[in-house]
Amino acid sequence: MNAEWRWDFAIEILPSMLWATLNTILAAGIGYAIAAIVGLLFLLGQRTPIKIVNMINREIVEFIRSTPLLIQLFFVYFVLPQFGITLSAWVCGMITIGLHFGTYLSEVYRGALEGVPKTQWEACRALNFSTFYTYRKIVLPQAFPIAIPGMGNYLVGIFKDTPLLSTIGVAELFHAATAVGGYHYRYLEPYTIVGIIFLTLSIPAAIWIRKIEKNVNLAQGKIKKEQL
Amino acid sequence: MSYFAFLSEHGPTMLLGTVTTIKVLVCSTILYVIISLIFGLMRLSKNPIIQGTATVYIEFFRGTSLLVQLFWFYYVLPFFGLTLEAFTAGVVAIGMNFGAYGAEIVRGGILAVPKGQWEGAFALNFTPAKRMRKIIIPQIFPIILPPAANLTVELLKATALVALVTVVDLTFEAKQINSITWLSAQCFGTALLIYYIISRFFLVPFLRWLEVLAARKVGKEIK
């Protein structure tokens, strides 16, 4: 066992790693889509005027937010079959990630809605706009730019948490690295390549999100061109 | 098997695992607080080398996954002749990862101290070091504690990952018991509950108390 970095080995395993990266990106994308919808559901639960629904909703959100994603994955993966529901590792992983990050996204949505000044609502009431119209034309367009940084951060967050899926056997990047490493008994190159792939994807993503945030703010007139 | 029978048989093992989890939590929290203070300050340095080092460190640890870092510390470092015990590797990986996030919070906190304070210190002819130590740093705590509290709860959740590098913590025990008994609902359910209880009834109230304390120290009162 030597600490030499072996280029031939690294190049040999690179194609399979890049293929597995596609799985990781796919998992992050699907997980994020589910989380975005689940977040809306939790937001609805939070904003309904029925007190008991609010309370239950809050407890569920608190519970999911304060327990580790890893055990939630195990829970969904191992417990559902006991009730006769057998799902593939992929489906289990996507459900769990969707639920877990849905709670976070609901907080982002809530913060964004509350970030719209109350006077906007009052003005709409004064203009006799319907609630739906108010949301669609006045509130949501203003809430959206507030939500973008948070939503973007959790996209990157989900991407970085996808390696956890390997623990239940989803064949994503980290799983591929562990498999390759175990086969050749060389972990230096696979894990380093994983790290580099993550860096090359998540740093541009973060920069890109910052750029969108700026553009949206610019379009909304929140900041002026000169301020950039 | 009823749930109580399950608890009386496997409860003690899980509690032992919980103790390890709390040990990991405490050690890595201490490490991450130290790292965030150091790198947060370095990030604000005018020296491009110091600032660059901090930026690279922060971007690197925030840009890659904690699990990858953990495995790297545990499985790859031995290649370089540095063999870490599983527990140490876990604490170091978590501490360094969260230190990177914490450093950004510290940086934000320092920048959020009102400008008048900086000018006041300048007017009183304080040296930069003394200005930081006596004026700025004591005031950042009420600003940084709320986001830092969130981060610490995240850290508690992240400690579950050390089970994957064979640290015998709560998650590891739950997995172990699951593979013996196949009572998945009970063992993972119990583990989830224990994490929830630690966070909801111990960690969060403690952090909240710290927030109140820090606010009172600078003469602010929070509800």
CATH classification for the domain delimited by B3-217, as one of 3.40.50.300, 1.20.950.20, 3.40.50.2300, 1.10.3720.10: 1.10.3720.10
Q: Is B4 on the interface with A (CB under 8 A)?
A: no
User: Which of A71, A74, A162, A172 best tests the B interface by mutation, with the highest count of B CBs <10 A?
Assistant: A71
Q: Is B191 on the interface with A (CB under 8 A)?
A: yes
Q: Is B158 on the interface with A (CB under 8 A)?
A: yes
Distance from CA of B130 to the nearest CA of A (A): 33
In DSSP notation, chain B reads --HHHHHHHHHHHHHHHHHHHHHHHHHHHHHHHHHHHHHHHHHT-SSHHHHHHHHHHHHHHHHS-HHHHHHIIIIIGGGGT-PPPHHHHHHHHHHHHHHHHHHHHHHHHHHHS-HHHHHHHHHTT--HHHIIIIIIHHHHHHHHHHHHHHHHHHHHHHGGGGGGGT--SHHHHHHHHHHHH--HHHHHHHHHHHHHHIIIIIIHHHHHHHHHHHHHHTT----
Per-domain residue ranges of chain B = 3-217
Chain B residue numbers with beta carbons less than 8 Å from the beta carbon of A187 are 71, 75-76, 79
The pLDDT score that the predictor gives to residue B93 is 96
Chain A residue numbers with beta carbons less than 8 Å from the beta carbon of B189 are 75, 79
Question: In this complex, do B79 and A62 lie within 8 Å of one another by their Cβ atoms?
Answer: no
Count Cα neighbours of A96 within 13 Å in the Cβ-side half-sphere.
Answer: 27
Count Cα neighbours of A196 within 13 Å in the Cβ-side half-sphere.
Answer: 11
Per-domain residue ranges of chain A = 10-227
Residue % of chain A over a pLDDT of 70: 95
- Give per-residue pLDDT as tens, A92-123: 999 999 999 999 999 999 999 998 999 999 99
Nearest CA in chain B to A81: B184
Q: What is the ipTM of this complex?
A: 0.89
Q: Is B177 on the interface with A (CB under 8 A)?
A: no
Q: Is B68 on the interface with A (CB under 8 A)?
A: yes
Chain A residue numbers with beta carbons less than 8 Å from the beta carbon of B178 are 74, 78
B45 or A221: which carries more pLDDT confidence?
A: B45
- Give per-residue pLDDT as tens, B87-135: 999 999 999 999 999 999 999 999 999 999 999 999 999 998 899 888 8
Question: In this complex, do A198 and B68 lie within 8 Å of one another by their Cβ atoms?
Answer: yes
Nearest CA in chain A to B153: A66
**Mean per-residue pLDDT for A50-61?**
93
Q: Is A207 on the interface with B (CB under 8 A)?
A: no
- Give per-residue pLDDT as tens, A56-71: 999 999 999 999 999 9
Residue labelled with tokens 């109580």: B4
Question: In this complex, do B188 and A75 lie within 8 Å of one another by their Cβ atoms?
Answer: yes
Q: Is A164 on the interface with B (CB under 8 A)?
A: yes
The pLDDT score that the predictor gives to residue A4 is 77
**Mean per-residue pLDDT for A10-27?**
91
CATH superfamily of A10-227: MetI-like (1.10.3720.10)
- Give per-residue pLDDT as tens, A171-218: 889 999 999 988 888 888 899 999 999 999 988 888 888 888 888 777
Question: In this complex, do A68 and B76 lie within 8 Å of one another by their Cβ atoms?
Answer: no
Distance CA B80, CA B68 (A): 17
**Residue A164 · residue A69 · CB < 8 Å:** yes
Question: In this complex, do B195 and A187 lie within 8 Å of one another by their Cβ atoms?
Answer: no
The pLDDT score that the predictor gives to residue A125 is 92
Distance from CA of A97 to the nearest CA of B (A): 14
Phi, psi for residue A36 in degrees, rounded to 5: -60, -40
Average pLDDT of every residue of chain A: 89
